[in-house]
Chain A
Amino acid sequence: MLKRSMWICFVAGLMGAATMAQTPTPTPVPDCPELEGQPADVRTGYYLGQGLAYFAGNQLRAAENSFTCIIATIDSDSVAAYMNRATVRTASRFYEEAVEDYTEALRRDETLVTALNNRGILYAVLGETEEALADFDAVLSIDADNFGAANNKAVFQAIAGDVPGAISTLEAVIEDSGVADQLADLQDPESEVELEDLEINPEAARAYALLGIMYSKVSLENYRNYLTLQPSGDFRIADAAGSLESRFTFDLRLEDGTWWLAANYDTTAGR
């Protein structure tokens, strides 16, 4: 069965939105009358389909109820239901409840890298640094080639102030993924390799973009250091610093930088 994943970059302000995260409220068990008396797999399939359809229509409360029906009345060990409910709760900004759902999923399958990655992002949003890094590291200990998680780890390292660590993580992605060799082939004037001939891992390619941001950040810090020491120094440096600062404010910001964290919402998760 094909696995269709949807990679979604968190949009601007998610980190800022952490302060607006809605207070979790106990979820009452909704009415779950559909297909009563039918086999559990039929009812599970029905409520999964219903929940995903509601989610696609942005009917978040209804979607959450559908997945709660599975957990509360059909199968309390349904990893798929926990994973999908976590997605809905994330979209609803019930971040703490979403963390709980990913944790429940991981209690049933501790190797579920999607849950670890997405929970790591939620921990980052909630400002729980150690937990976030632990989740990204856990993904990498299970799947060293999970370059998405490595990129997330690098972003979070940078947000936490460890830019050298972030650069090191990203360079490892570039090296381990083989994307550096692919790039060298493409840039070699003697080579006949075309981009269409190569299967580029988008996460590996993204490491270059993130690395650019890291070096921009380092550049900005160096410009600032210079301007601190020489406030009336070369005006071109002040201009360059201003330009970079502006870009960090509007385009590349890392400080509230869940912009660059990537979650994986896989509707088929939980197999």
Chain B
Amino acid sequence: MKRIYEEICTARLSHACRFSLDCKMFGAYCYLSEIRGAVPLLHGPLGCAFFPKLVPPDAIRMQLLGLDQPPPFPCTDMDERDVIYGGAEKLARAIIEVDRYYRPELIGVIISCPAAIIGDDIIDIVNSVRDRIDADVIYTPSSAGFADDERTDDFNRHADDLINIWKNPDEKPQWGIEKCGRLDTLYSLIEQLVEEPDKRMENAINIDTYGRFHYFEDLAGELKEIKTILEKIGVRVNTVFPGCSVGEIKGMARAKLNFMRRSERSAKFLKEKFGIDYIFDIFGTRYIGLNGAKRFYLDIAQRFGLEKQAEAVVRERERSVQTELKEIKKEIKGKKIAYICTPLYTSPEFMKLLEMLGLNIRVLCINTGWWRRWGMSEKTVKRLLDEFRPKVGDIGSDPEIYADLTIEDEVEMLKEKGVDLVIGDVLVSDASRTMFYENQGLRSLNPHCMGYSSFRISFSQIIRLGRMIADRLHSPLPERDLIYLRYQYHPGRYPTLLSDVSDELRWEKIMKKVWRDKACSV
């Protein structure tokens, strides 16, 4: 039942967010919604505070906090008079009233565009009422919607990161997400809340998690496994954030190590102020697959001098994974598959994982549509493909490689090759693609939609991946005549309807030429 609700949330967001982008203010609201007991308070007009609470509650709030409604979003209802004379007094009173009405543990003051432009001194206002309220209070100084974030950066730089990491997993991506509204808020929380501890905990670590709208992923499952294995090694998880309480954030400095997956800026702050060392692995580049999961635990253990314990625990865990995979491998050994992907950091390792499960990758279809829609140039796409092909040579199956076929051509070719299963992972519209393949009689599976993510650090999800592949290979493939497919699609942009193509192109052009300010013909 819950899964259906989450799928509907995803569908709703996909439908509603086409040809539009959210802003940093909304990101700040989302991050605060992932902290138990926090109430976000907007210093701005009521319209900005109206729509966020009508967006489905995010996945971290639902899965880690168990809350199925978004938090309230009170605001100062900034009007023309406030814009002229300033809204300082109004904000100060609002903080006091929000404290007295909601009795929150934390008030997160979010600044809006008008408040930022008129220059209300948010720090001074917050400090002036801090002693008059029971709740803790923080502010997000750069959450105005116009404030630049990383999405305006040159997306071609992302290709360099991909190529470097395919060559060496220890390379760190340069194209980050530090400027997004969520991470700004994370930094504010850490900078303004974390307290000097009375005592440090031995062998304790803080774990950063993510997944705002990742309804399809088992966020809680990943963390549960990490906690269990670390405990066996002798490492205690102090705080998992977000998806935690205010008290847990305050107590972060009790730990001796941070595992950060999103904000290196926050990690650096904690290191400088509290001497907490950190491991930073943005986009999950170092800890992919079975070997990646092993490395994760060994890396952490090394920081605590617990390598021997870790090796034993990990070896044991790996053995149990292999035992559980034994039956699955028997069932799927030698099956011919096609892998359809948008190349990611994780793609080469994921293909190795498929081979480890005993599958034979006969065909690899590379789809670069997502990159190009985000602003990657044709030249960079070509370079990326040229670098990706040799990586595929490292795997044993030696698949035939195709790039950017239309979905119709893809299906024709795959039928000719006689593959047993199509595994798809092109980042967008994967469920729609599965429908297309299966309507054409090709058995298909999108692990991502089924809860597998190659970015998550987990042994058990490898078993889950194997199981879902085996199940799909054994389950029937009924003849379909899907209503969904009885419309005219743009051949190169499936599942964009022909009637929507002009909207899509217009949007992409505005993003490229206006937002990112790149030259292109009108």
Partners in one complex: no
Q: Which A residues contact B (CB, under 8 angstroms)?
A: none
Q: Which B residues contact A (CB, under 8 angstroms)?
A: none
